[in-house]
């Protein structure tokens, strides 16, 4: 009987180790279940795969209209994140080395939006946040102006750089420690164009009396940037200055002759209509070819500040201070049809084309209209005053601040939507 009782007791024994494990880990298990869950990351979304971005963006709240504000003079302020020794600065834009009288004062003006602040970007934080990212600037020399501004700021804090020409770019650099690439793709019209001469055998344009000009294929992207959308994660486009350039595209001697699907558009159309068609085709091309999760900006037109005539008519930009609001309207109002009206005219076309697309607007026009003091003018001994490009360091550094703030805001909103 005693033996039977011992056997029953042995059968009822429970191992102590599993039981103790259950007792110890059950509270931890239920604690983990109670913690808030992180939203899932979309593998196809570029804006969701930057872990360094999350910590910086979580502190953001609300939104800001950075484009509405004024320039504030601060003698103790300097917007420069680099100096005139940056070798990528085109000689004609280096106003400090070129001896422009107010070159140092240009940097003491700070853009102050109404009701908020435009944060100056931190080059090191940017490199860390946007590791493994490719950024392309596509457009005319004003986009190169902006590209150089970003490069010089990054180059000052990270010297291990590889120079190359990615995806057909005019120039490009990879910051090797961060695997961050920036590139500039030069294109004047976005679409492909080249010289056109009348065929001795005749044709539709020849029958209308055209003898020479420039063929513009509205539906074919310029080869300098056709591969950019599938290569870059972020693109910043611009166009406009060459569309209103009679010295290049003389409406009588060398007109723009537009082609679509390989055939001339008949009757011939004026440049303004051609611009609309090109924008439609090029934006569609980018939206089709852009890599998944890519971010696309279109920068608005950079204003010129010629007074007393255009660049080839003795025009100059001698002002030492930013313009007042009244002076801005006098110089740029479309109703005045002045020398510098191009910027607001082009913007009408750009904003109409961008509406309803997946492009983001980078609006630099209004803030830049005030800065008649910040062009190279005759610095460096130019034959004609340059009142179109900007001194470096200078106003385009503020464009970079705006670009990066907009980029971070876009990523923050995308993060919040998950």
For 369-410, how does the pLDDT look when each residue is reduced to its tens digit (9 = 90+)? 999 999 999 998 888 999 999 999 999 999 999 999 999 999
* Helix residue ranges per DSSP H, 180-220: 204-207
Asked whether the predicted pLDDT for residue 264 surpasses 60, the reply is yes
Q: Give the lowest-confidence range in 21-25, 230-234, 258-262.
A: 21-25
* Nearest to 147, CA basis, from 166, 128, 125: 166
Q: How crowded is residue 75: how many other Cβ atoms within 10 Å of its Cβ?
A: 7
Asked whether the predicted pLDDT for residue 49 surpasses 50, the reply is no
pLDDT at 47: 35
Question: Which regions of 278-395 does DSSP assign to beta strands (E)?
Answer: 295-299, 360-362
Asked whether the predicted pLDDT for residue 40 surpasses 50, the reply is no
Whether the CB-CB separation of 178 and 186 falls below 8 Å is answered with no
pLDDT at 412: 61
Instruction: Sketch out the chain's domains with CATH numbers.
Output: 68-416 (3.40.50.1110)
Mean pLDDT of 282-294: 97
* Nearest to 134, CA basis, from 285, 283, 235: 235
Distance of CA 171 to the CA centre of its chain: 16
Asked whether the predicted pLDDT for residue 15 surpasses 80, the reply is no
pLDDT at 416: 55
What are the tokens at 270?
């004026």
Whether the CB-CB separation of 161 and 86 falls below 8 Å is answered with no
What are the tokens at 232?
């870059």
Asked whether the predicted pLDDT for residue 190 surpasses 60, the reply is yes
Rounded distance, CA 237 to CA 227, Å?
14
Mean pLDDT of 132-153: 98
Asked whether the predicted pLDDT for residue 417 surpasses 80, the reply is no
Asked whether the predicted pLDDT for residue 26 surpasses 90, the reply is no
Alpha carbons within 13 angstroms on the beta-carbon side of residue 188 total: 14
Mean pLDDT of 203-218: 97
pLDDT band at 11 (very low <50, low <70, confident <90, very high): very low
Rounded distance, CA 196 to CA 213, Å?
5
Mean pLDDT of 151-180: 97
Rounded distance, CA 418 to CA 247, Å?
51
Q: Which residue has the tokens 């010295």?
A: 247
Whether the CB-CB separation of 376 and 90 falls below 8 Å is answered with no
Highest mean pLDDT among 27-36, 43-52, 85-94: 85-94
Which is it for strands 360-362 and 295-299: parallel, antiparallel or unpaired?
Answer: parallel
* Nearest to 332, CA basis, from 378, 367, 297: 367
Q: How crowded is residue 256: how many other Cβ atoms within 10 Å of its Cβ?
A: 24
Mean pLDDT of 262-278: 97
Mean pLDDT of 246-271: 94
């Amino acid at each position: 009987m005693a033996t039977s009782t011992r056997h029953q007791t042995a059968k009822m024994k429970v191992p102590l180790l599993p039981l103790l494990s259950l007792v110890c880990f059950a509270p931890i298990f239920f604690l983990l279940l109670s913690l808030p869950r992180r939203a899932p990351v979309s593998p196809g979304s570029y804006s969701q795969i930057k872990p360094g971005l999350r910590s910086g963006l979580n502190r953001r709240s609300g939104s800001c209209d950075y484009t509405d504000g004024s320039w504030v003079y601060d003698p103790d302020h300097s917007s420069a994140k680099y100096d005139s020794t940056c070798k990528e600065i085109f000689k004609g834009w280096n106003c400090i080395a070129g001896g422009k009288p107010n070159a140092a004062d240009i940097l003491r003006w700070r853009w102050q939006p109404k009701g908020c602040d435009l944060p100056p970007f931190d080059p090191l934080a940017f490199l860390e946040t946007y590791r493994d990212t490719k950024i392309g600037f596509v457009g005319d020399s004003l986009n190169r102006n902006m590209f150089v501004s970003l490069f010089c700021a990054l180059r000052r804090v990270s010297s291990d750089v590889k120079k190359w020409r990615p995806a057909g770019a005019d120039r490009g650099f990879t910051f090797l420690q961060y695997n961050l690439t920036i590139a500039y793709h030069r294109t004047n019209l976005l679409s492909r164009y080249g010289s056109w001469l009348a065929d001795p055998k005749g044709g539709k344009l020849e029958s209308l009396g055209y003898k020479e000009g420039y063929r513009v294929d509205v539906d074919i992207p310029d080869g300098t940037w056709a591969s950019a959308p599938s290569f870059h994660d972020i693109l910043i486009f611009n166009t406009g200055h060459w569309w209103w350039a009679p010295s290049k595209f003389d409406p009588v001697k060398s007109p723009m002759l537009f082609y679509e699907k390989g055939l001339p558009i008949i009757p011939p159309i004026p440049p303004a209509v051609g611009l609309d068609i090109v924008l439609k085709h090029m934006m569609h091309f980018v939206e089709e070819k852009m890599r998944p999760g890519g971010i696309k900006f279109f920068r608005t037109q950079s204003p010129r500040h010629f007074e007393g005539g255009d660049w080839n008519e003795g025009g100059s930009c001698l002002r030492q201070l930013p313009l007042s609001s009244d002076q801005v309207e006098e110089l740029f109002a479309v109703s005045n049809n002045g020398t510098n009206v191009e910027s607001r005219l082009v913007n009408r076309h750009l904003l109409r084309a961008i509406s309803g697309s997946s492009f983001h607007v980078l609006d630099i026009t209004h803030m830049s209209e005030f800065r008649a003091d910040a062009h190279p003018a005759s610095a460096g001994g130019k034959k004609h005053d340059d009142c179109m490009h900007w001194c470096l360091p200078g106003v385009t550094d503020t464009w970079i601040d705006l670009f990066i703030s907009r980029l971070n805001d876009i990523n923050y909103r995308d993060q919040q939507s998950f």
